[in-house]
Amino acid sequence: MSALVFCLWAGLVHAQEDTPVDFEADSVTVNNQDGNMIATGNVTIIQNGDVLRADQVIYNPSTETARASGNVTLTTIDNIVHSADEMTLDENFTHAIAKPLLTKLSDGTRFSANSGNHTQNKRTVFDRSVFSPCKCDYDDGESPIWDLRASKSIHDVETHLITHQNVTMRIFGLPIFYLPALVHPDETIKRQSGFLTPNVAYSNDRGMTVTTPYYQVLGPTRDVEFQPTNFQFRGQGLKTIYRQKWDNSELTATVYSANLETFKKRREQVAATDTRFSTKLGTGWNLDMRLFRTSQDTFLRRYRYAADDRLDSYIVAEKITDNRYYRVKASDIQGLREADTPDSEPSLLPHIYFEKVVDGPFANQTIRQELTAQSLQNDEGHDMVRWTGLLGTRLQHKMDGHVLIATGDLLGTYHDIQSNPSGSGETQELGQGQVIMTGEWQYPLGITYGNQKTASAIITPKIKVTGIEGSDRTEDIPNRDAADFRLDEANMFLANRFQGRDFILPGSHVAAGVSGITESSFLGDVSGFIGLSYRTSGTPAESISTESRDSYSDYVTSLSARTPFDLTVSWSARADRKSFELNESRANAVYDNNGTFVEVSHTQVAESYFTNSAQDREEVSINVTQNLGRGLSLTAEQVWNLSEGQSKKDQSILLLGWSGGFQDCVNLSLEYKRDPYADRDIQKVSELQLRISFKYLGSISQ
């Protein structure tokens, strides 16, 4: 027997010495009449990484061909499995012809054909083929959701492309469309040049909208996509996206050019760009740039190119070392709303910031240096330049569980105010200086409670005294960086709670509060805070809030809990010190369990608190997502405007999604969206969109 096996092996490798064939079988016999060698029982032939298995293989030495039969499988080195009742192999087992042929790619994608022709490491040709990436139980009689039926299909393993000729697409067995040819990548390819699936949509404003994207690979790290669109009633547009990566840099440039109807003309040549670039420079510098500009105010939003109503262009350079931080920023904003004017499109040219923190001469002491320079233009009519310098120290000491913290800052600021609509309107140069001192005490207390002492909590009372001495320029310097002031548990304990450098109010105040956190098997993780501050000296900040006329602040409180019942709740509020009426509150509750997600949010801000507020503001939103099983999900979102006692629906979204389908080969979504926002030629939106995405073939939206 060993001699026969040797002769068979020698015959198989004779044709091509550099690609030997490994062979195993339960038994081998030789037909004395024709010289054929017959291997039977668990036949395994391995050639150049491909593995052939069969019940029987008959090898003809004169023609150097073999015929395999009985449970034939050919598994390639790429984990592609070809199965057939019978398979003929020649060219040293690198070429095979099978009838019929069933092929499964590595991700489960399936070909079936009347016959097939396979060439090792090159291609497989399927005659009268059926192709589908759907994962279903064919052996149990299950049919794919969709398939492609072609007179011929070719899977090129060198280019990783699949080509179908005279192809018909069937969905649930029904023929949907026919194409003379269709080319798409297999599961291994990530990027391939060619046309993408067209997008089709309809609206009463734009009419039938057809986009036919084309994608072009320019190199291993470069590509470009062209998206020409025809708007039936309004004109044509082209969106071009160019992308490139380097070792330490990345560029994405999007250019919009169109001839469309606008609120100015029936047809207007319009253009826009959104270009982003980031890179690493020198020793530790990170550079981030964005150019976002448009030649016309509404076409990006009206034609669904972009939703932004303020375009922010900027360049930012940052560097961080062990004890230093550098930041340089220049920016310019283009406003697209009807109320925007050139005086409400601020430019920051530039903002330079430097901070250095080093250890001081005493234990647990740090010394901080800060330098800032900025030029602000067109900020609601304000133009000014500001220079700031700060030298500060922080000293911390622990004693018997008590934590004592002391800080001291010397702050100097110089303003060159070139335009101030809220002031005299004259050019002013103002300097100011302050000394800011704080003293803080904390005492964290750890306790355990419960019958078995299994629950624990940490309660921390905290008191901070702050004094600011120096010039008061709040009536002369435009307040541009503290206009969005909010009193909460974070800034209650800041030395300058209004933050920024424009609004610094001399005086002194005391802030006190108690925070706590606990963990228990019943309540879960719970944290909370309550605090109050008192102005001991100085004038109130009347230009920011009406409440600050009182020496006492609102009560500031918060509570959050992550319960063991898949429910997370949070609440924060400011309550009037005397009446406990809420001047501001934010509440949020999230339930997430086994495919059910529910989020409810409520926000309320009282008119009386903010001097620049025109009315009370109140809003409620609810978001519900339910997994219906087998890839189906339903999402509903609604926002209500409850300001001034009204109950008005704002944005509404209803989405039914089918992700992957039952067989992981199709995505489907049906979305209804209502948006009441309108601006010039931008209409209120109520639209219904159907989107279907087929695996490997892209998406079609209607």
Q: Residue 34: which CATH number? A: 2.60.450.10
Quick one: which of 501, 493, 503 has its CA closest to 538? 503
Amino acid identity, residue 133? P
Task: Give the up-direction half-sphere exposure of residue 361: CA atoms within 13 A in the CB hemisphere.
Answer: 0
Q: Assess contact for 542 and 513: CB atoms under 8 A.
A: no
Q: Is residue 15 scored above 50 in pLDDT?
A: no
- Output the pTM of the full model: 0.77
Quick one: which of 242, 239, 262 has its CA closest to 252? 242
Lowest mean pLDDT among 130-144, 393-407, 526-540: 130-144
Q: Is residue 190 scored above 60 in pLDDT?
A: yes
Q: Is residue 6 scored above 60 in pLDDT?
A: no
* CA–CA separation, 364 and 394 (whole Å): 8
Quick one: which of 201, 186, 64 has its CA closest to 695? 186
Q: Assess contact for 642 and 650: CB atoms under 8 A.
A: no
* Geometric angle at alpha carbon 432, from 431 and 434, rounded to 5°: 160
* CA–CA separation, 456 and 421 (whole Å): 56
Cβ atoms < 10 Å from Cβ of 118? 26
Which residues form the domain of 185?
A: 2-193
Task: Give the up-direction half-sphere exposure of residue 504: CA atoms within 13 A in the CB hemisphere.
Answer: 25
The answer to whether residue 106 sits within a structural domain is: yes
Q: What does residue 189 show for φ and ψ, rounded to 5 degrees?
A: -90, 145
Sign of CA pseudo-dihedral 419, 425, 429, 434? negative
Cβ atoms < 10 Å from Cβ of 528? 18
Backbone region of residue 401 per phi and psi (left: phi > 0; alpha: psi in -120 to 50; beta: other values)? left
Output 533 or 645, whichever has higher pLDDT. Answer: 533
* CA–CA separation, 216 and 211 (whole Å): 16
Q: How big is the chain, counted in residues?
A: 702
Residue 533's beta-bridge partner residues?
A: 511
Quick one: which of 185, 138, 147 has its CA closest to 167? 147
The winner for highest mean pLDDT among 11-20, 167-176, 361-370 is: 361-370
Note the pLDDT tens digit of each residue in 74-88.
999 889 999 999 999
Average pLDDT over residues 648-659: 86
Task: Note the pLDDT of residue 17.
Answer: 47
The answer to whether residue 343 sits within a structural domain is: no
Sign of CA pseudo-dihedral 169, 172, 175, 177? negative
Q: Which helix (H) or strand (E) holds 3?
A: helix 2-14
Q: Assess contact for 490 and 519: CB atoms under 8 A.
A: no
Amino acid identity, residue 274? D
Cβ atoms < 10 Å from Cβ of 582? 15
The answer to whether residue 458 sits within a structural domain is: no
Q: Is residue 701 scored above 60 in pLDDT?
A: no
* CA–CA separation, 155 and 184 (whole Å): 10
* CA–CA separation, 458 and 455 (whole Å): 11
DSSP letter, residue 188: T
The answer to whether residue 61 sits within a structural domain is: yes
* CA–CA separation, 469 and 196 (whole Å): 66
* CA–CA separation, 181 and 166 (whole Å): 6
Find where tokens 């010394």 sit: 367
- Give residue 498's pLDDT band: very low, low, confident or very high (50, 70, 90): confident
Average pLDDT over residues 135-151: 88
Task: Note the pLDDT of residue 71.
Answer: 92
Average pLDDT over residues 9-37: 70
Find where tokens 């990484």 sit: 49
DSSP letter, residue 677: -
Farthest-apart Cα atoms in the chain, separation = 118
Q: Assess contact for 233 and 227: CB atoms under 8 A.
A: no
Q: Is residue 534 scored above 80 in pLDDT?
A: yes
Q: Is residue 443 scored above 70 in pLDDT?
A: yes
The answer to whether residue 689 sits within a structural domain is: no
Average pLDDT over residues 605-609: 71
Average pLDDT over residues 628-648: 86
Task: Note the pLDDT of residue 645.
Answer: 75
- Residue-wise DSSP of 363-420: TTEEEEEEEEEEEEEEETTEEEEEEEEEEEEEEEEEETTEEEEEEEEEEEEEEEEEE-
The answer to whether residue 623 sits within a structural domain is: no
Q: Assess contact for 347 and 312: CB atoms under 8 A.
A: no
Cβ atoms < 10 Å from Cβ of 563? 14
The answer to whether residue 189 sits within a structural domain is: yes
59: buried, middle or exposed (CB in 10 Å: 19+, 13-18, 0-12)?
buried
Tally of domains within the chain: 1
The answer to whether residue 124 sits within a structural domain is: yes
- Give residue 610's pLDDT band: very low, low, confident or very high (50, 70, 90): low
Q: Is residue 176 scored above 70 in pLDDT?
A: yes
